[in-house]
Structure 1
Amino acid sequence: MSKNRSVAAVLAGALCLVTAGCAGSSNGTASDKASVSASGSGYPVTVTNCGQTETFAKAPGRVVVMNGGSVAEVSTLLALGLGDRIVANEQTYGMSEVAGRAKAIKALPAGDIELNDAGDIPSETMLSLRPDFVLSVTAYGFDAQNGFATRRQLRTVGANSYVSPQGCDDDPSRMTISDSYTLLRDMGKIFDVSARAEQLIAASEKSIAAVSAKVKGEKKSKVMVLFAGTSMDNDTFEWVAAKGIFNDILAKAGGTNVFESASRTVFADLSKEKVAATDVDALVVLGAGSPDPTAYAKQLLKEFPQWPAAKNNTYTVLSDSIYLGPSNDLAVDRIARMLHPDAF
């Protein structure tokens, strides 16, 4: 799996939600790649997604959630109260900013599936699950060349399919909090729980607006965002965030990405010299899949004592809330309190 594809997976999330008050969201507009329309209320519901039309005669009841390195899709379904529709879920981080979320994800059926070399559900296994709805982080998850069931194959066995926002072109560099809302809103319409989706979106928007109002006018802190586990024993730092939903979250929290110009894609590979020479006011360590992200953050601050972040011990660790998914408001709040504690 390419680095770009792994990134899309991690983002999509899409990472998200088990409780109503914790939903992260969007401005309410549909993405240019996916839109949902219904004939009046109820079914059928028609979805145009990545250039394909999917028609739902009823709410899906046998849902398969592909891995893709994300938890956005499964968390969105849980936030909408749809966990009982899932027959196989391959998404997990083992940690979350939302109380009970990681436990709820772990309790879902995994389908006793042997994943392929790409870490996801192979074609024959997918079809044997008899799904009526399959969620993928990116279009990669429906690519026959990579050993996956195509959207056409799924349709022949009665299964609809869906690629998450910004996943059609496998380019999460344009992703914003709005895409989290699009995912919520689309799932709400497909499963006929739009009222619930709108409630989550409204709560997230209200929370983010309140935080942004508190830090308005404050000096923008320069923040470094990177995955825990990036080696400090060589001359490069991989997986340093540069673009995407991270920057939207930082902006709303009163910060800016200090390495935004370091790459045209979501993540950058940086030399140790460049990292050392940059004034980093605060550190956000992404803990998805890492055994001890807090220890890594402390080690990093010790490695670069010249940073303002090290001098002030300014860091936080996040898992799912900073990616695509319904809990982006939690990331905004956590980061804002780290950057501007006097505003709260």
Structure 2
Amino acid sequence: MTLRSHALPAALTLALALALTGCGADVADDKPSAADSAKDRPVTVENCGRKVTYDRVPERVVTNDVGITEIMFALGLEDHMAGYVMGDDRGDLEDIPWKGGYDRVERLSDKEINRELVLDAGADMVFAGWNYGFGEGNGFTPAALKKVGVDSYVLTESCRNGGDGKARGVMSPLEALYTDLDNLGKVFHVEDRATALIAKFRKQVADAQADLPAAGDRPTVFLYDAGEDKPFTSGRYAGPHDIITKAGGDHVMKDLEDSWTTVGWESVVERDPEVIVINDYGDTTAEQKRKFLKSYPPLRNVSAVRNDRIFVLDYVDLVESPRNPAAIATLADYLKGVRETNREHGG
């Protein structure tokens, strides 16, 4: 009698395996992938001097304001956003590198961000900043959000410094941008994207600085944001400081240990800037701001006004955002022209 083998033919074995797979019996598929495991791995970063831990990758982030929103877009994190809050005075959002982000992510409001809006959106994280959405006056703070189960990340440009809690800024503005990109790269497990973006921005800034003059040949520059009785401007910790200095200018308010703050016109007159950069946003247009500067009697003899050296940048160029490096290049071109004119006239 011939003995029959219990081993199945190879073809039948393969057919059974395929049938089981089709019925959902593939045991390997039940194991979490490396990407899924990463999402469940807590990540701790330092944010405004505090260690903050995120238990898993945020999936429904609400951002406040244009620069913050575009940081998320630049990192390719649109799929992790529930929406953004942004005023309708933040400039042209059409001809920009991150137009696709605005097409894909919902604008939740053009008013002030608040807890109810965040909860209605089902947010698991809010990315905002002090005076960029967060503030004790309206009760909208990271601590208040934590009580209702929503994480926060605070824009580094807005970090508070000093004992009174009013002054803001703890590092160079561009380093603040790079810090946020690096931190968020870790939180969302897109470190490679963050590293590549930081390298790209550093090169963009280095290229803009390729032929900058020595310190003594740099035009002095004042940033005018708004205000008639007193001007609202930038100290050394807001975006304009690095944009001005790395573009080849000498920031006249570099001694202010703050980000955005108010000064007196007398200090502007005393420092006699050769160039004034206008922050274009709000109900008052850039042209209206220019007309005010040109007609305001105390500024009559200020060099920038007398020589009509008034340059305009958009709000998003000047607050912490991925547009900062391009703004440096744009201003560098303008200041180069100022230097050349000065040399022609023996200035």
- What is the one-letter code of the residue matched to 2:218? K
- Correspondence for 1:227 among 204, 225, 228: 225
Correspondence for 1:83 = 78
1:195 alignment partner, SS class: helix
Unaligned runs of 5+ in 2: 1-36, 341-347
Correspondence for 1:164 = 155
Instruction: Name the TM-score, length of structure 1 as normaliser.
Output: 0.71
Correspondence for 2:321 = 325
**8 A contact 2:219–2:338 mirrored in 1:** no
Determine what percentage of the aligned residue pairs are the same residue. Answer: 24
Higher relative contact order (CA 8 A, sep 6+): 1
Instruction: Name the TM-score, length of structure 2 as normaliser.
Output: 0.70
CA distance in 1, matches of 2:140, 2:327: 33
Alignment CA distance shift 1:54-1:152 (3 Å): farther
2:189 alignment partner, SS class: coil
Alignment CA distance shift 1:127-1:288 (3 Å): same
2:156 alignment partner, SS class: coil
**8 A contact 2:42–2:55 mirrored in 1:** yes
Q: For this pair of structures, how many residues does the alignment match? A: 288
Correspondence for 2:178 = 181
Alignment CA distance shift 1:316-1:72 (3 Å): same
TM-superposed CA distance for 1:208, in Å, is 0.9
- Correspondence for 1:338 among 326, 331, 334: 334
Per-residue deviation, residues 157-180 of structure 1 (Å, max 9, x unmatched): 4x4321121544264344421000
Greater shift after overlay, 171-180 or 93-102? Answer: 93-102
Per-residue deviation, residues 168-204 of structure 1 (Å, max 9, x unmatched): 4264344421000111122222222222222221111
Greater fraction of residues in helix: 2
Unaligned runs of 5+ in 1: 1-39
- Correspondence for 2:106 among 80, 104, 109: 109
Per-residue deviation, residues 226-281 of structure 1 (Å, max 9, x unmatched): 114x22xxxx32203233232222221111122334x543323213x544454221
- Alignment root-mean-square deviation, CA: 3.4
Matched, 1:281 2:274: yes
TM-superposed CA distance for 1:293, in Å, is 0.9
Alignment CA distance shift 1:275-1:53 (3 Å): closer
List, as ranges, runs of 4+ consecutive aligned residues in structure 1 with deviation greater than 6 Å.
142-145
**8 A contact 1:181–1:326 mirrored in 2:** no
